[in-house]
Structure 1
């Protein structure tokens, strides 16, 4: 899978509001399917379906404990999102730095005393 396909899979998974909310819930720590059901008010089959999509996208991982399944965030996929966003952050910071320098140059020109001749 190419990097673009990988990022598309992640963002497609997060585009669904219930899945995004699940990721937000898991930010605070691992949860069982039942705990997610209780917090979101969805049915167990719905939650399991959404968790499967998140798992296939690499956003969560599951650990079976006895008859329960505990889900937690997968840090690497979140780091991949951070790295992707970071490339855009650097681009905008560079542009803002150039804009700031341009504005400072304009202000210096405006504040320069008139040359009496």
Structure 2
């Protein structure tokens, strides 16, 4: 008797392998989260982002990448500090950062 049922049990394995392939470095790419790789990623992406006419001018923004989880705002010695994490490159690598500003409205 022929089995006509779909092979749904193979789907989890397929998605697992597809996810693993996403994280494999391409030839010539070094995706380790090192200070040099972070600087290189920012230097590569920053000019494109700075030229974006829709980028907020009065908002706390990282030089490149995505800012996540801004919290812990404090006022110290005349400066407002917002603590945050920056996603620099893919796969996600979180880097702690702060965003000081003398004006509360710019935060």
Does TM, scored on the shorter chain, surpass 0.5?
Answer: no
| Bigger fraction of residues in strand | 2
TM range, smaller chain: under 0.3
The higher-RCO structure (CA 8 Å, 6+ apart) is: 1
> Structure 2 length as normaliser, TM-score?
0.25
| Bigger fraction of residues in helix | 1
